[in-house]
């Protein structure tokens, strides 16, 4: 039964969005804490940049391999069970990182974190598809990813503070415990079907695209993959840039400018804060353009294209031996512009297959997972081999050019199998169309 208690100032839909924002924050803290702690871990465990790159990549390997299976399972289990299971895995993996005593146990712990976090964002996309009206998809993806970037920005200062006060071991144990606490909050509040929530109102239900009793739409892998391959390539290009920032910024400032962990953390946090603004703005601008023009393809592609090409200008100073402050400002501008891509790209996965949002999002996000797997060891090897960060920036500029080329084939105006978003009657017709396809 639907309760009218939800007519209070804090709606059920807002509550779900807030809890997903908390999840995004904690998830990215646990995803990127290793980059800040890397300076202490490297010294404690006697690792070089190439070995450190393998540690970074350990997370990404399971992250990429488990992405599509995790998204498929998430569509079957539902967001409530899937996100709880994932939260337990990534929280335990973070705890195990703090207990690591060598590179082997460190790699194992990061494998577990990657396994837990792999289906998180696809399953979150499924939850948002059920709980957010279509015209707020860009905003909801923007705000949750902005909280993820806020996690990035907070991590260097938070982890550096915990390391200074205790040790890098204690830092991971504290952060793992916080993630496990979130799992309890999620299970207590969230329901897969919005109509089952005790605080939701009839007005909220009327605005939502997923209704009780809606028929399940059969999934066809071949047309789904065909619809999503351009977005997957774009995700790889964007993932290369994102993971370069997430993994290597503290080490870049420490090695290129000889800064200590505190000053490296300050510069890195400032750069990541710019990503918070860019992610939020990208989603809001994409939704605004959609409302103004009604052209979903243009509203998604425009922000994606700008987000790839504009950062190139701010990578150029990295070849000019600028000061550490100028480097930080340039990189902050580059990340701000690059993050305009995030929310529109994730909205595309929801636009293309709203009835299989976790699976479609996981296919698209596999590109980012592959980038996260190959980027860390390659960056570490390039720096160790050339004793310079310039080849890394040059290679990153190549992907900034390739991204908008692939984006030209993204067609959110042609949803997978013409999936319906509202009525059960339409579902039967589109299911027939699926068989005909």
User: Residue ranges of the domains in the chain?
Assistant: 9-210+220-431
Tokens of 199: 């605080």
pLDDT band at 354 (very low <50, low <70, confident <90, very high): low
Q: Indicate whether this model's pTM tops 0.75.
A: no
Give the pLDDT band (50/70/90) at residue 397: very high
What value does the CA radius of gyration of the chain take, rounded to a whole number of Å?
Answer: 21
Residue 312, pLDDT score: 93
Q: For position 437, what pLDDT does the model report?
A: 28
User: Cβ(20)–Cβ(126) under 8 Å?
Assistant: no
Work out the average pLDDT over 91-119: 87
pLDDT band at 137 (very low <50, low <70, confident <90, very high): low
User: Mean pLDDT, to the nearest integer, of 360-385?
Assistant: 82
Mean pLDDT of 78-107: 88
Segment 355-368 shows an average pLDDT of: 76
Class of domain 9-210+220-431: mainly alpha
pLDDT at site 416: 62
Which of 14-23, 116-125, 238-247, 335-344 shows the lowest mean pLDDT across its residues? 116-125
pLDDT digits (tens, 9 = 90+) for 145-190: 778 778 877 887 788 888 888 888 899 999 999 999 999 999 998 8
Asked whether residue 436 carries a pLDDT value surpassing 70, the answer given is no
158 compared with 10, residue with greater pLDDT: 158
Q: Is the pLDDT of residue 421 over 50?
A: no
> Does residue 220 register a pLDDT over 60?
yes
Q: How many CA atoms lie within 13 A of 400 on its CB side?
A: 26
Q: What's residue 295's pLDDT?
A: 76
SS (H, E, C) the chain: CCCCHHHCCCCHHHHHHHHHHHHHHHHHHHHHHHHHHHHHHHHHHCCCHHHHHHHHHHHHHHHHHCHHHHHHHHHHHCHHHHHHHHHHHHHHHHHHHHHCCCHHHHHHHHHHHHHHHCCHHHHHHHHHHHHCCHHHHHHHHHHHHHHHHHHHHHHHHHHHHHHHHCCHHHHHHHHHHHHHHHHHHHHHHCCCCHHHCCCCCHHHHHHCCCCCCCCCCCCCHHHHHHHHHHHHHHHHHHHHHHHHHHHHHHHHHHHHCCCCHHHHHHHHHHHHHHHHHHHHHHHHHHHHHHHHHCCHHHHHHHHHHHHHHCHHHHHHHHHCCCCHHHHHHHHHHHHHHHCCCHHHHHHHHHHHCHHHHHHHHHHHHHHHHHHHHHHHHHHHHHHHHHCCCHHHHHHHHHHHHHHHHHHCCCCCCCCHHHCCCCCHHHHHHHHHHHHHC
* Integer angstrom CA distances of residue 323 from 97, 122, 169, 250, 326: 35, 40, 33, 16, 5
What is the average pLDDT value for the chain, to the nearest integer?
Answer: 79
Cα 295 to chain centroid, rounded: 25
Asked whether the CA dihedral 377, 378, 384, 387 is positive or negative, the reply is: negative
Buried residues in 378-387 as b, exposed as e (16+ CB within 10 A): bbbebbeeee
Cα dihedral sign, 31-37-39-42: negative
On whether the CB atoms of residues 58 and 67 are closer than 8 A, the answer is no
Confidence band, pLDDT 50/70/90 cuts, at residue 6: very low
What was the pLDDT predicted at 313?
92
pLDDT reported for residue 135: 65
pLDDT tier, 216 (very low <50, low <70, confident <90, very high otherwise): low
More reliable by pLDDT, 250 or 6: 250
Nearest to 267 by CA among 249, 279, 283: 249
Best CA proximity match to 283, nearest among 224, 345, 328, 367: 345
Q: What whole-number percentage of the chain has pLDDT above 70?
A: 86
| CB contact at 8 A, 145 and 342 | yes
């Amino acid at each position: 039964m639907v309760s009218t208690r939800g007519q209070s100032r804090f709606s059920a839909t807002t509550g779900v969005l807030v809890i997903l924002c908390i999840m995004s924050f904690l998830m990215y803290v646990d995803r990127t804490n290793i980059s800040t702690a890397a300076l202490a871990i490297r010294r404690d465990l006697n690792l070089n940049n190439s070995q450190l790159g393998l540690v970074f990549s350990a997370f990404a390997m399971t992250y990429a391999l488990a992405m599509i299976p995790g998204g498929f399972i998430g569509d079957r289990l539902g967001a409530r069970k899937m996100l709880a299971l994932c939260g337990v895995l990534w929280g335990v993996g973070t705890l195990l990182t703090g207990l690591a005593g060598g590179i082997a146990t460190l790699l194992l712990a990061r494998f577990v974190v990657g396994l837990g976090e792999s289906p998180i964002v696809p399953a979150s996309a499924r939850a948002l598809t059920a709980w957010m009206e279509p015209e707020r998809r860009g905003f909801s993806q923007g705000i949750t990813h902005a909280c993820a970037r806020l996690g990035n920005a907070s991590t260097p200062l938070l982890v550096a503070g915990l390391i200074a006060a205790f040790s890098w071991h204690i830092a991971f144990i504290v952060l793992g415990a916080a993630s496990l606490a979130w799992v309890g909050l999620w299970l207590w509040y969230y329901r897969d079907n919005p109509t089952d929530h005790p605080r939701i109102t009839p007005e909220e239900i009327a605005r939502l695209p997923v209704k009780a009793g809606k028929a399940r739409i059969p999934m066809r892998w071949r047309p789904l993959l065909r619809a999503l391959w351009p977005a997957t390539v774009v995700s790889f290009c964007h993932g290369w840039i994102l993971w370069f920032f997430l993994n290597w910024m503290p080490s870049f400032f420490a090695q290129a400018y000889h800064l200590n962990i505190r000053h490296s953390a300050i510069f890195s946090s400032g750069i990541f804060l710019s990503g918070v603004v860019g992610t939020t703005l990208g989603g809001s601008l994409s939704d605004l353009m959609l409302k103004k023009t009604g052209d979903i393809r243009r509203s998604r592609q425009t922000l994606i294209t700008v987000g790839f090409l504009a950062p190139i200008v701010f990578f150029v100073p990295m070849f000019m031996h600028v000061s550490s402050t100028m480097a930080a400002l340039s990189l902050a501008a580059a990340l701000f512009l690059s993050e305009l891509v995030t929310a529109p790209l994730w909205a595309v996965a929801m636009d293309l297959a709203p009835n299989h949002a976790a699976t479609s999002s996981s296919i698209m996000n596999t590109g980012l997972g592959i980038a996260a797997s190959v980027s860390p060891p390659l960056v570490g090897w390039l720096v160790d081999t050339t004793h310079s960060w310039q080849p890394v920036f040059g290679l990153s500029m190549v992907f900034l050019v390739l991204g908008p080329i692939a984006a030209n084939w993204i067609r959110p105006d042609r949803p997978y199998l013409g999936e319906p978003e509202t009525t059960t009657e339409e579902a039967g017709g589109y299911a027939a169309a699926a068989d005909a396809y």
